Amino acid sequence: MQYVTLNNGVEMPVLGFGVYQIPPEQTEQAVGDALAAGYRSLDTAAAYGNEEAVGRAIRDSGIPRRDLFVTTKLWVSDAGEDRAKRAFDTSLRKLGLDHLDLYLIHQPFGDVYGSWRAMESLQRDGLVRAIGVSNFHPDRLVDLIDHNEVTPAVNQIETHPFHQRTADQGLMRERGVQIESWGPFAEGRNNLFTEPGLSGIAAAHGKSVAQVVLRWLIQRDVVVIPKSVRPARMAENLDVFDFELTDGQMATVAALDTGASLFFDHRDPAMVSRLGNATLDS
């Protein structure tokens, strides 16, 4: 496994396992299989509804806590200094852990600054090793950095061959923020798995398109958290450290960038209202 060093010195695996859209009743098995395959970084969120299942899989694995890197996220309806601390306690209890490795603000809406003060406090108290954000565009990220004590360690954003976020990554690098990809395979949109350029690169290396995409992200210094419920695919996604894309192959992938989201725009007023007012099921 390769690691990135975050802005506070914490080391984070460059490749982890995500559980977005895995139903709670399937999550425990999926995470158990992922840990057995060799994953040591797990990414969940309060909004996914499967933190308890992730926690059970961790306990059943027998893997020492020090060997794991666990991330979860704060939802908008729990934004604000006091509510964020209570939400953190709830997530920690559901996961069955005594600390987190990374805690993220899930969406750039609501009382972000109150939430960030709470997260700074949690980090000072040793309850979380690193804090960060998700889905923050550069303007929101810079504003948060400029008006707070702690710079986010990570910004987890949509990043894949069709939306590459190169300029965003450059800004993050300047500000000491690690980019992390969600949706690395674009959920198969734009026929990603049969795209001719990606397929040609895959054939040249004797790898799959998915492995090429993950390798491309890793070579760009992007942390990535692919999801699968199939053990064979989990193992395949981990097997990306024995080859390297050439400069020409990197350029082939770079040419696929559309510069736009394939999912939703966090600056669209209707989407802002929808996400900003969404509450979690009790």
> pLDDT by residue (tens digit) across 149-171?
999 999 999 999 999 999 999 99
- Per-residue pLDDT, averaged over 9-30, amounts to 96
Better pLDDT: 267 or 206:
206
> Catalytic pick from 3, 20, 48, 103?
48
Per-residue pLDDT at 232 exceeds 70: yes
Q: Could you tell me the residue ranges of all domains in the chain?
A: 3-276
CA distances from 4 to 134, 219, 221 (A): 18, 12, 8
Rounded (10°) angle between helices 24-37 and 51-61: 40
The structure tokens listed for 139 are: 């303007």
- Per-residue pLDDT, averaged over 192-216, amounts to 98
How sure is the predictor about 267, in pLDDT bands with cuts at 50, 70 and 90? confident
Give catalytic status of residue 3 as yes or no: no
How sure is the predictor about 242, in pLDDT bands with cuts at 50, 70 and 90? very high
- Looking at residue 31, its amino acid is V
Supply the pTM of this predicted model: 0.96
> pLDDT by residue (tens digit) across 116-144?
999 999 999 999 999 999 999 999 999 99
**Which superfamily does 3-276 belong to?**
NADP-dependent oxidoreductase domain (3.20.20.100)
pLDDT of residue 67: 98
CA distances from 84 to 76, 94, 128, 201, 204 (A): 9, 15, 13, 45, 48
- Run of H or E residues at 157: strand 154-158
